[in-house]
Amino acid sequence: MSLEPVLEATENGLEGKSERERNSRLFQSLELVLAMAEKRLNDHNNPDEKKQAWARILIQTVKAYGDLYKLQDLERLQQQIDEINERIKG
């Protein structure tokens, strides 16, 4: 399984999309990478060097997933703050 078509489709598919759609597509891509890394880590035929490389990919992917989730949460909180400020003013 190659990630190149997935990444290319993700990059091309993000133009003109809303923030929510872009984030959703990014989450899907990260989930694919996580699944691939887990599969490669559990492959008993892979030498330790390759498993170590896939472990690094897994760690970075989890970090990116967490960062994206945190960004989404911060945007949601900012939206709630803006709504509260509008209620106070209005």
- 90 residues of the chain, pLDDT tens digit each: 566 665 565 566 667 788 888 889 999 999 999 999 999 999 999 999 999 999 999 999 999 999 999 999 999 999 999 999 999 997
Beta carbons within 10 angstroms of residue 80's beta carbon: 10
Domain span at residue 12? Answer: 4-89
Q: What share of the chain is helix, strand, coil (3-state, %, to 5)?
A: 85, 0, 15
Nearest-CA neighbor of 7 among 37, 29, 34?
29
Q: What is the pLDDT of residue 18?
A: 83
Quote the CA–CA distance of 89 and 10 in Å, as a whole number.
41
The structural domain count of the chain equals 1
Angle between helices 19-41 and 4-13 (to 10 degrees): 170
